[in-house]
C-alpha cells in the first residue's frame, strides 16, 4: 500500500490529484472552523454582494457568504458521494466478477438482469428509491449506490472475463478451490485497478446526481449548503449574481477533476508490473 502511494506521487496527475483531495478533506474536516461567517447568517443589506475583501466569493440572494457555505457544504457533499459510489462499486464488482466466474447460463441470467436494471435511467431509479424510502441525504446516498452498482458490474464483468481465462484461475479450479476464494482472492484483486479508476471517475457523476436529487427536494434539504442545492438555488439569479452559481459549480468541477486525476494516477500506481 505504501509502495502504491509512493508510485502515485511519482506521477504529476497523482500529485495534483492528491493535493486537491487533501484540500477537499481539509474542507470536510475543518470547514466549519475555517469559514469566516456562519453559513446561515443572513444579511439583507448585503444581498448579491459581489466578490470583495469582505466576501471573497460574494454573497447570495439572502446575503449569506458563499465561501462559508461552500466550506461547510463540503461535508454534506463529498463524503456522501464518495461513500455511495464506492459501496455501489464494491457490490457491482462482486456481482460482475461472480458473473464472469460462473459463466454460461448464470452469466446470462445475471447480465440480463443488470441490463434490465440499467434500462431504467439513473435519475428515475434514484427517484423511485428515494420516494419509497423517504427524503433525506442517507437515502439519497443509498439510491446513488444502487444506481452505480449495475454499470460497475458490467465494467467488472468485461475485465473479469479476461481474467477468467488466465491460467492462475484455471490453476485454482484444478486445485479444487471454492468459488468464493476464486472470486474474492484470485480474480477480484486483478480487476481492482480498472475498477478503482472507473469508480473514482464516477464520484463526479454521483455528486451531480446527488445535486439533482437535492434540487428536486429529495436529497439534502434547505437551508443545508450542499453544493448541488446551492447550484439549483443560485440558478434563478444567474444573470444578476453569477458568482452564486459559479462558485459551487467550480467546486463540483474541481472535485470531479480531482477524482479523475487521482483515477489516472492510481491506474499507474496500482499496476505493479509497470514498476520500472
Residues making contact with another protein (CB under 8 A): 104, 166-168, 170-171, 173-177, 186, 189-190, 272-273, 275-276
Which phi and psi angles does 55 have, rounded to 5°? -115, 100
| Number of alpha carbons in the 13 Å side-chain half-sphere of residue 181 | 10
| Number of alpha carbons in the 13 Å side-chain half-sphere of residue 158 | 8
Cβ of residue 50: shortest distance to another protein, in angstroms? Answer: 49
Our CB check for another protein shows the closer of 34 and 274 to be 274
From the CB of residue 41, how many other CB atoms can be counted at a distance below 10 Å? Answer: 12
**What is the rounded end-to-end Cα distance, in angstroms, of the chain?**
17
Our CB check for another protein shows the closer of 20 and 193 to be 193
- CA 44 to chain centroid, in Å, comes to 36
Cβ of residue 95: shortest distance to another protein, in angstroms? Answer: 20
d(CA 45, CA 103): 67
Our CB check for another protein shows the closer of 50 and 181 to be 181
d(CA 273, CA 242): 48
Cβ of residue 4: shortest distance to another protein, in angstroms? Answer: 12
Q: What are the residues facing 256 on neighbouring strands?
A: none
Q: Are 139 and 221 in contact (CB under 8 A)?
A: no
Our CB check for another protein shows the closer of 45 and 167 to be 167
Helix (H) or strand (E) holding 256: helix 242-269
d(CA 248, CA 236): 14
Our CB check for another protein shows the closer of 9 and 168 to be 168
Q: Helices 66-102 and 137-164 sit at what angle, rounded to 10 degrees? A: 40
Cβ of residue 176: shortest distance to another protein, in angstroms? Answer: 4
Our CB check for another protein shows the closer of 240 and 271 to be 271
Cβ of residue 105: shortest distance to another protein, in angstroms? Answer: 9
Cβ of residue 186: shortest distance to another protein, in angstroms? Answer: 6
Cβ of residue 9: shortest distance to another protein, in angstroms? Answer: 16
DSSP summary character for residue 270: T
Cell of 62: 439572502
Q: Are 182 and 118 in contact (CB under 8 A)?
A: no
Our CB check for another protein shows the closer of 134 and 178 to be 178
Amino acid at each position: 500500500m505504501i509502495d502504491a502511494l509512493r508510485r502515485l506521487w511519482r506521477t504529476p496527475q497523482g500529485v495534483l490529484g492528491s493535493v486537491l483531495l487533501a484540500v477537499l478533506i481539509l474542507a470536510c474536516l475543518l470547514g466549519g472552523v475555517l469559514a469566516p461567517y456562519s453559513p446561515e447568517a443572513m444579511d439583507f443589506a448585503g444581498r448579491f454582494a459581489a466578490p470583495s475583501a469582505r466576501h471573497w466569493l460574494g454573497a447570495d440572494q439572502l446575503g449569506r457568504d458563499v465561501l462559508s457555505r461552500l466550506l461547510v457544504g463540503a461535508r454534506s457533499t463529498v463524503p456522501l458521494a464518495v461513500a455511495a459510489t464506492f459501496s455501489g462499486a464494491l457490490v457491482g464488482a462482486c456481482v460482475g466478477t461472480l458473473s464472469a466466474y460462473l459463466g454460461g447460463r448464470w452469466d446470462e441470467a445475471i447480465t440480463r438482469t443488470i441490463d434490465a436494471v440499467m434500462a431504467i435511467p439513473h435519475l428515475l431509479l434514484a427517484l423511485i428509491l428515494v420516494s419509497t424510502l423517504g427524503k433525506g441525504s442517507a437515502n439519497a446516498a443509498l439510491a446513488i449506490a444502487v444506481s452505480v452498482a449495475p454499470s460497475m458490474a458490467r465494467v467488472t464483468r468485461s475485465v473479469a472475463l479476461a481474467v477468467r481465462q488466465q491460467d492462475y484461475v484455471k490453476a485454482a479450479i484444478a486445485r479444487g478451490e471454492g468459488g468464493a476464494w476464486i472470486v474474492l482472492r484470485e480474480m477480484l484483486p486483478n480487476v481492482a485497478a480498472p475498477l478503482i479508476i472507473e469508480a473514482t471517475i464516477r464520484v463526479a457523476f454521483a455528486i451531480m446526481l446527488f445535486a439533482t436529487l437535492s434540487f428536486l427536494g429529495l436529497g439534502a434539504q434547505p437551508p443545508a449548503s450542499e453544493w448541488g442545492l446551492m447550484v439549483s438555488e443560485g440558478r434563478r439569479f444567474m444573470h444578476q449574481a453569477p458568482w452564486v452559481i459559479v462558485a459551487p459549480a467550480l467546486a463540483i468541477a474541481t472535485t470531479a477533476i480531482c477524482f479523475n486525476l487521482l483515477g489516472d494516477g492510481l491506474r499507474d500506481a496500482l499496476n505493479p508490473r509497470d514498476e520500472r
